[in-house]
Chains A and B, each alone.
Chain A
Amino acid sequence: MGAVLVVLEQRDGMLKRVSLEALAAGRVVADAEGSEVHALLMGPPGVSTEALGRHGADKVLAAATPDLALYQPDAFATIAANQVSTGNYDIIVLGATAMGRDLAPRIAAKLGAPLAPDVTSLTANDELVVTRPVYSGKAVFTLRVVKRPCVISVRPNVFSPTDAAKPGAVEGISADGVVAARATTVKVKEPEKAVLDVAEASIVVSGGRGLKGPENFHLIEELAEVLGGAPGASRAVVDAGWRPHSEQVGQTGKTVSPSLYVAVGISGAIQHLAGMRTSKVIVAINKDKDAPIFKLADYGIVGDLFEIVPRLIAELQKIRGN
């Protein structure tokens, strides 16, 4: 049986949480097949690997050089593919983040291996079966992954880091020669007119399940824009894949306390309430007058958001126009 190679992700020298989640997914396969999990860290020197053993890494392979501080598509794919070719690996696991979505197909292509992207569940009894939501979560693919080696990327915030104490001994690997590849990342530039981060915005407009589908979220974005705020989302719609996790407000997403919080079509799960209760002024729009969000709201509109929000946008645009 070949081992499992988990490709870690770091930013500014800190491991991202998704790395531990990918380790947990890798652990499931390794435990089922009686093999090992090796964690591949590509980054600058000095990234702390202390947590990896606790969370299921039998061994840590570290390619640590300042040249790998930023994500280098060519170099990362080459290092990972080389490691798979020289070692004995059956499964490669990554987080389906912005980096993982780019890197996973590159590794798969270099190895001529199958790719199962954006996986939300995984079982490894006898055979490897994974699921992935498609069409904004309206349907679920179940994939049986037969060929080895294969590449899997796991959706962030789905797998929980596992408490499995393993040696986690660090072994350096060489990255010589691979960084000066055909193209390198020189700099990561923040977008100038970035959409405000929900955790930092002084005005947040959040949408929930009451919007009925991701196609209606333009209402939230437009209302946020006309108010000069950031769009947010409830956990239910993030779980459903309508919105990215970066927009989730709530105890497990981002705790916010803006000066104005507008909750649209959000009934108010206790986690959500816990994540936004310190907002200064809370406005709720919901068709269910008994929704818990109204207990916290300073202003509440009971009604159909598809009527109310467009009118609100139009009125606000008029005011801004003047």
Chain B
Amino acid sequence: MIPAKAQPPLPRDKLILSEPPGDERIEMDVLFVGGGPAGLAGAIELSGLVKAANEAGDGPGQISIGVLEKAGSLGEHCLSGAVVNPRPFRTLFPDLDDSDFPFQQPVTREAVYFLTPKRAIRVPTPPPMRNEGNYVASICEIVRWLGERAQAMGVDVFPGFPASALLVNGNRVIGVRTAPSGLDRDGNPMSNHMPAADVVAKVTALAEGTRGMLSQAFFEWQQIPSANPQIYALAVKELWETKRPVDAVIHTLGWPLPGGAFGGSFFYPLEDRVAAVGLVVGLDHPYRSLDVHVLLQRMKTHPLFAQYLQGGEMTEWGAKTIPEGGFYAVPQRRHGDGVVVLGDSAGFVDVPSLKGIHYAMESGIAAARAIFTALTANDTSAHMLAAYDRSIDASYVMKDLYRRRNMRLAFKDGLVMGGIKAGLMTITGGRFPGGKISMVSDAAVARSSDGAVPFTPDGTLTFSKVDAVFKSGNATRDTIPSHLITGGDVPGELAAYYASVCPAGVYEVVDGKLRVNPPNCVDCKATDVVGPRWTPREGGSGPAYKRM
């Protein structure tokens, strides 16, 4: 079974609209689509540049900067490990000290274990994974903090308004259309209906996060290639009040992942008795029934985890994909006329060090500088915005990604060979083995073996998907129209595959047929990678993460 064969195409005609904006349009100078670390860092840097230039007397005058966010409140759709590299925070807030930033605690101790079903074997920490000088943090808290800073600087942040389509004129992006709200299951307006609104801007910065729909549509529309297709991993994460303190940043490899899957776990202490535990698995595995949520549940029964979690309480649950393709999967151009693409949407994630937040912010800062220059020159064409790509290409972002360009890709041959190759790559600074390891898209990987392991959750240490979705804070109304596009008649085997890919129970097999429960969706985008397409829906739908 090859998932790509049954995958519906990207609904480009709905995502790219070549029509003039409506009369009720909102006009901005710069619009950031997505209120995550990339979009907010960009908005903050840009407003700072404008203010400084205006005070110096050679600024562009009043510049309106907006941020659209699909979550009901800032941060509610953000999920990350997270151990954060503070570098872009220092760039963005030179007057602040590390202790002012919204981090939980510095990383003091760290350990990497290889797990067998019963044992945990300590292994040396691979150099790219070393976290000295980094901080454990919650991306939700970071984003809320950045949002307050942005608003204090005059940025207009609009949570609850997803962008559902790019508005274009010829090759120029002129803004976005928001998703309407208050529609019933059949798409008819209800009493609280709010129609779509057009927001036009001189520059639209796409900072949608992982697997951004408008970003995907932009790259496809402009036929912008990358050397390798982007590949993704799915992360499922829980927040726990632990029975006893977790005193180190812990990563594990091995059990319970089957041999053909690439991934690992993270276990991060946020407070004395609050810890994050999660499992990340590449979607390029050959299994029809691999279920990351179930694997995480099994993993928690391992003594390494159970000693902390047993008797504690799971307080939050969530899931999200991660673009893992690295250097060779970054699109060759991340700008166009009136548009730039930032952060995860552009694929700025380094898998060997398990980080992307600082790259997202760095890309926002670089984009803001290019946009500022373009606004000052009164020319926001691709010619001017190309400065953004040049700046990122010359920065540590692309240098890091280049050095580790083949590291994640080496693991398609399994953990042992991958580990040996990755070690050599580290020693040689990426020169071994040289060249490029080619990849296919996740959806093109044949699912040749079953890989199912029966598991029954106990409701205290391990949980069903229904309980999990409840803990994501997802309170999407039941009557929402479906935002998921399945490929017509889905055969039973494929339906079962979708059900195992989706961590939130959106897909079920009932009487051998696919049943879709759209309100369960937590916007992780996993099935958008290998199966049914995700599209933007009513603002405020989906999870409501607090400290993920």
Contact = CB atoms under 8 A, between A and B. Distances in A.
Contact of B160 (A274, A277, A292): A292
Contacts of B25: 251
Interface stretch (B191-199, B432-440, B521-529): B191-199
Nearest to A235: B24
B75 interface: no
Q: Which of B160, B161, B191 has the most CB of A within 10 A?
A: B160
A82 interface: no
A160 interface: yes
Nearest to A291: B192
Interface stretch (A29-37, A57-65, A92-100, A263-271): A263-271
A277 B191 CA distance: 24
Given A277-B156, A292-B160, A271 B192 contact: no
B540 interface: yes
Contacts of A277: 156
Interface in B6-46: 23-27
B343 interface: no
A277 B539 CA distance: 18
B194 A269 contact: yes
Contacts of A292: 158-161, 539-540
Contacts of A142: none
A185 B192 CA distance: 47
A291 B194 CA distance: 11
Contact of B197 (A160, A209, A269, A291): A269
A290 interface: yes
Contacts of B26: 251, 270-271, 274
A11 interface: no
Given A271-B24, A274-B156, A295 B194 contact: no
Contacts of A290: 72, 540
B73 A251 contact: no
Contacts of B161: 270, 292
Interface string A257-285: 00000000001011101100100000000
A271 B191 CA distance: 18
A235 B194 CA distance: 11
Nearest to A252: B24
Contacts of A90: none
A270 B197 contact: yes
Contacts of B500: none
Nearest to A239: B24
A273 B158 contact: yes
Interface size class of A (residues with CB under 8 A): 10 to 19
Nearest to B64: A274
Contacts of A252: 23-24
A271 B540 contact: no
Given A235-B24, A251-B24, A252-B24, A270 B540 contact: no
Nearest to B178: A270
Interface string A165-182: 000000000000000000
B192 A295 contact: no
Interface string B139-173: 00000000000000000101111000000000000
A290 B73 CA distance: 10
Nearest to B156: A277
A295 B159 contact: yes
A288 interface: yes
Contacts of B24: 235, 251-252, 271
Given A160-B23, A251-B24, A270 B192 contact: no
Interface string B520-548: 00000000000000000001100000000
B197 A295 contact: no
Given A270-B197, A277-B156, A288-B192, A295 B72 contact: yes
Q: Which of A267, A273, A292 has the most CB of B within 10 A?
A: A292
Contacts of A267: 192, 194
A254 B24 CA distance: 13
Contacts of A235: 24
B502 to A, nearest CB: 25
A46 B228 CA distance: 66
A270 B23 contact: no
A295 B74 CA distance: 10
Contacts of A288: 192
A203 to B, nearest CB: 22
Interface string A288-300: 1011100100000
Contacts of A271: 24, 26, 197
B283 to A, nearest CB: 32
Contacts of A160: 23
A290 B538 CA distance: 12
Contacts of B23: 160, 252
Contacts of A291: 192
B73 A295 contact: yes
A270 B72 contact: no
A293 B25 CA distance: 19
Contacts of B159: 292, 295
Interface in A180-219: 209
Contacts of B540: 290, 292
A273 B26 CA distance: 10
Interface in B190-210: 191-192, 194-195, 197, 199
A209 B189 CA distance: 14
Nearest to A295: B159
Contacts of B160: 292, 295
Q: Which of A252, A291, A295 has the most CB of B within 10 A?
A: A295
Contacts of B197: 269-271
Nearest to B195: A269
Q: Which of A160, A267, A270, A288 has the most CB of B within 10 A?
A: A270
A155 to B, nearest CB: 14
Nearest to A250: B24
Interface in A228-253: 235, 251-252
Interface of B: 23-27, 72-73, 156, 158-161, 178, 191-192, 194-195, 197, 199, 539-540
Given A251-B25, A271-B197, 11 more contacts: A251-B24, A267-B192, A269-B195, A270-B26, A270-B161, A270-B178, A270-B197, A271-B24, A271-B26, A291-B192, A295-B160
* Closest A-B pairs by Cβ, 10 of them: A292-B160, A270-B197, A274-B26, A295-B159, A251-B26, A269-B194, A270-B161, A252-B24, A160-B23, A290-B540
20 contacts: A160-B23, A209-B191, A251-B25, A252-B24, A267-B194, A269-B194, A269-B195, A269-B197, A270-B26, A270-B158, A270-B197, A271-B197, A273-B158, A274-B26, A274-B156, A274-B158, A277-B156, A290-B72, A291-B192, A292-B159
